[in-house]
Amino acid sequence: MASPRRRFRVRDFLERKGVTLESPDDRLTMEDTLMEGDFFHQELRRGLFLHLSDAMEARAFTASSHVQEGLSCIFFLDGEVGLKIGDRHFAFDGCRNGTVEGTAIMSARPDSFERQSHGAQRLRHLVVSASPEWLDLEGLQGHAGTGSAHHLFSGHLASQRWRLTPRAIELVGQLTNAPELTPALRNLYLEARTIELVGEALSALLRTDIDNKVGDALTQQDLIRLKRARDFIEANLMAALSVEMIGREAGINPSGLQRLFRLAEGMSVFGYVRKLRLEQAFTALQAGEMTIPEASLFAGYSSPANFSTAFRHRFGVSPRTTRRGK
């Protein structure tokens, strides 16, 4: 994302309220540079914040302040940084072994915050922060269920780390390399993708629980059939699919296929198909490749009003706004 380059000196850190600074370099002066690069921080919606940085850190330092309550989803692309929140330590190493990971941390109350940089390095990262009020408004806490997602919302400084899906990696890329847009369209662009990224994070945690349950409840043959069914659906998403057709390709009868999808995806076969079609409709509207009625029918909604409701719930923005912003 294009943003003015900024240089942060020792003085700039210390002029911030509640911030203290330590460095192993005892010759450090107030005018010495700590980091320089591109930084972006904005409240996209009340209680929902996006922070992006692509900067060069000049030296090792430790900055201390305080963190507010809420959920933080953290994605490091380059650089090694240590965080300490309260008495918990977190280590981040961007794209270790070529794998992009996300970390979700839930702070139930304000607490001390310490950030440690180990030396000169390039730092690229993205942080989405959501207040408890925003999480309640979006109904996310109520859908946490049990397992990993429930654990994340259940206690102070609960955390989960997960490997990003291809879609989540795409969203991170779209946020860190946003196109030039008017301010109003830029805000919509960022908000829609940020909300989807939070949804991807919680889906990943819920999927971890589902995968654990599936591993216990399904045989290896069931898992093979499930993969065949998913692959066939994705390869034929625009075709007139039926449960019988998908079942034949997967080597399982229709009722057995429905059982697999309810266990593994938490929805019916056609609930899963509709979810994928809705995601493709979003992409097509954004690119101007479909009209709203066409996207509605493609996603499986005979009623444009129902399509609009489902679309807004999934992506945080209306179909009309998405197409207008292409």
Structure-token pair, residue 154: 């259940």
Rg, C-alpha atoms of the chain: 22
Structure-token pair, residue 141: 């806490």
Measured distance CA(295)–CA(318) in Å, rounded: 12
The pLDDT tens digits along the chain (326 residues) read 556 689 999 999 999 999 999 999 989 999 999 999 999 999 999 999 999 999 999 999 999 999 999 999 999 999 999 999 998 888 888 766 566 789 989 898 999 999 999 899 999 999 999 998 888 755 555 555 555 555 566 678 888 888 887 788 888 988 998 888 888 889 999 999 999 899 888 877 666 554 555 445 567 888 889 889 999 998 888 888 899 999 999 999 999 999 888 877 778 898 888 888 888 888 888 778 888 998 898 888 888 888 888 887 777 678 887 776 55
pTM equals 0.63
Domains identified in the chain and CATH numbers: 5-182 (2.60.120.10), 211-324 (1.10.10.60)
Residue type at 249? E
Say if CB 17 and CB 33 are below 8 A apart.
Answer: no
Task: Name the DSSP class of 275.
Answer: H
Of 117, 122, 85, the C-alpha closest to 104 is 85
Structure-token pair, residue 188: 């919509």
Say if CB 122 and CB 56 are below 8 A apart.
Answer: yes
